[in-house]
Chains A and B, each alone.
Chain A
Amino acid sequence: MDPILEIRHLDVDYGLGDRAVRAVRDVSLTLHRGEVLGLAGESGSGKSTLAYGLTRLLAPPGVISGGQVIYHPASGEPYDVLSLSDNGLRQFRWAETAIVFQGAMNSLNPVHKISTQLTDVLKAHEPSMSEHTRQARAREMLKLVGISPDRMDAYPHQLSGGMRQRVMIGMALILQPQVVIMDEPTTALDVVMQRQILGQLIELRERLGFSVIFITHDLSLLVEFSNRIAIMYGGRIVEEAPAATLYRDALHPYSKGLLSSFPALRGPRRELAGIPGSPPDLAAMPAGCSFHPRCPRAFEPCSVTIPVLGRPDATGRTVACWLHPSADAADSPGVSVASGEH
């Protein structure tokens, strides 16, 4: 499969200098054409920061302090999103990569009609389009996400939460982007609505062929809806594998813990324990592997040296854990520095 978005050693900090909080550290991730890549982690693991970082939407004091985000357009040469000019960035956003925000239900402007907000995007990106075509396109988009086009002139408060969420998804897709980033798109919705919207999204993806980065804390949802899953903890990716592989045979103790944090609806009822302790404070990260204070299987290198994301076997999955050292050491980037930062 050919890649569409390659994140290479991305670092994102909040603040500058020594007191900076390093929210995303050395993240490398590749999104392939037409796939759904799930990004799971708890609050504070840096998953949203990663999404904002790669679209360059970070508000100060967020700073991208290193790395590259290579975008491969449908036609033409790949380019680095992080070095785009303001104008280039304006072209890139929405038309190439769209994002559906967390709490998207509240991202609509309450004083404008749905139609105004939908056509506004077209006005900004395709100024040559006639008003009539714009309206038609907006109508078509609403129909696509399952809202009757006669709701075009409704205000956001006249729509239910689920409908507003659909409008947001429609708005993200209106310019037919190649990549759609979804940041907890259904967290505020009920399960029935969540399933309907996600089912529809998968259907749309098959029809329109875009790729999705799906960010959520609900791992059981990701296992069902995504092709590959990357798990973040403390600003780093700790494991990445195809969804089914991860679910059946997670290697990293954190992934295992996360998977056994969800009581199952079917199968035998078992005693579950969750993960002891609480997620780390990004401002005071433990030395070595950031998970080692909570890890049931921590041993002596864990508290000293940061594990490298490596391939434990030939299947192409990666994990950053000393229990599963990389099979081919040559592939690993040189970040195995002993952590003496504090």
Chain B
Amino acid sequence: MTSTQVVLEAIGLTKHFPVRRSLRQIFRKEHSAVHAVDDVHLTLRRGRVVALVGESGSGKSTVARLLAQLYPRTGGDIRLHGASTSVNGGRGFRAYAARVQMIFQDPFASLNPVHTIRYHLTRALKIHHNTGDDLEAALHELLGRVSLTPPERYLDKFPHELSGGQRQRVAIARALGARPEALLADEPVSMLDVSIRLGVLNLLRDLKERLNLAILYITHDIASARYFADETLVMYAGRMVEGGDSETVTQTPAHPYTRLLIDSAPDPDRLTGNAGELATDRGNGEPPSLIEPPTGCRFHPRCPMAMARCTTDLPVRIEIGDRPGHWAACWLYDQEKAASEGVA
């Protein structure tokens, strides 16, 4: 088993949520939908962290839920070890969940307040038949993995007796109880206090290395993606706009949206408040409606560098060429094609 083995793959993943129609629309047979996710490709490999960065409403959480098979998809494919999988609850879902687990944003809501930590973890172990011979030992091992030691101190506590960071660790332990190959972490640290966020991220990284997990890290904080992830993908309005290894994407961003995102992030080194050459936003800082997304590139109404072509043609993935694997869906980088068209 190599460390770069592909666990989970999304190919052209698409999700549209239907919108309630008025009577007139029903008679005219008009169908409108929220285009939450369109044509998303991503690959999770063992021992690698992929970050999915985007603003609220960009569809990043929908991608996680699609990958966890919590929603049926509208189009595209999800492949687990190369085999197309589509489960709809029941036994199939349970088998899928044994391999792909999800961690949610809010540890205050994802643990049941009337049950102890022991109950939460025991259920995860029993459902996935991972108790082994000794349940108690298995529980201790789980808590030990997430550095909640000594385990006896935490096992019989209720969620409200723990701090936010400890609760999120319990949620991670519960996900590990299924012995998954892939973890989908949907903003795992954004609800936690700043001083303990890094502790949880470092724990996830440590687990990734020890258990050879594939992790999808969803976040709105591109700086934490740089810190934690090997590969970073940027989403805007339901589409992926840029991808590559984290260092390249954050240091030499190619897509105008990624530049805007990076320049907007607080940067203590800037100190003055308004430095001159920041990426600008032609719009009012808001993403577009996803019911009728803009034609062509979805970022063109806000893009400072929009060209005529951007309003009509949907940009394809174009290799940037500075580093292998760095691509952006932006017509700015389509030099060869532009040149060839100019000749013709």
Contact = CB atoms under 8 A, between A and B. Distances in A.
A272 B194 CA distance: 12
Contacts of B250: 265
A199 B286 contact: no
Given A162-B285, A191-B261, A269-B227, A43 B271 contact: no
A263 B285 contact: no
Interface string A193-210: 111100100100000000
B55 A190 contact: yes
A74 interface: no
Interface string B216-237: 0000101110111000000000
Interface residues of A, number: 44
Contacts of A190: 55-56, 220, 285
A218 interface: yes
Interface string B263-276: 11111111111100
B267 A191 contact: no
Find the residue from A223, A259, A265 having the highest chain B CB count within 10 A: A265
B194 A258 contact: yes
Contacts of A259: 268
Contacts of A276: 199
B285 A193 contact: yes
A114 interface: no
Interface residues of B, number: 43
A261 B194 contact: yes
A67 interface: no
A262 B6 CA distance: 31
A274 B266 contact: no
A219 B247 CA distance: 23
Contacts of A262: 194, 223, 268
A269 B260 contact: no
A193 B165 CA distance: 28
Given A190-B55, A195-B264, A162 B196 contact: no
Contacts of A263: 198, 223-224, 226-228
Contacts of B228: 263
Interface in B291-327: none
B227 to A, nearest CB: 3
A42 B247 CA distance: 29
A274 B56 contact: no
Nearest to A265: B223
Contacts of A220: 266-268
Contact of B273 (A193, A202, A266, A275): A202
Contacts of B226: 263, 265, 269
Interface of B: 55-56, 163-166, 193-199, 202, 220, 222-224, 226-228, 247, 250-251, 260-274, 281, 284-286
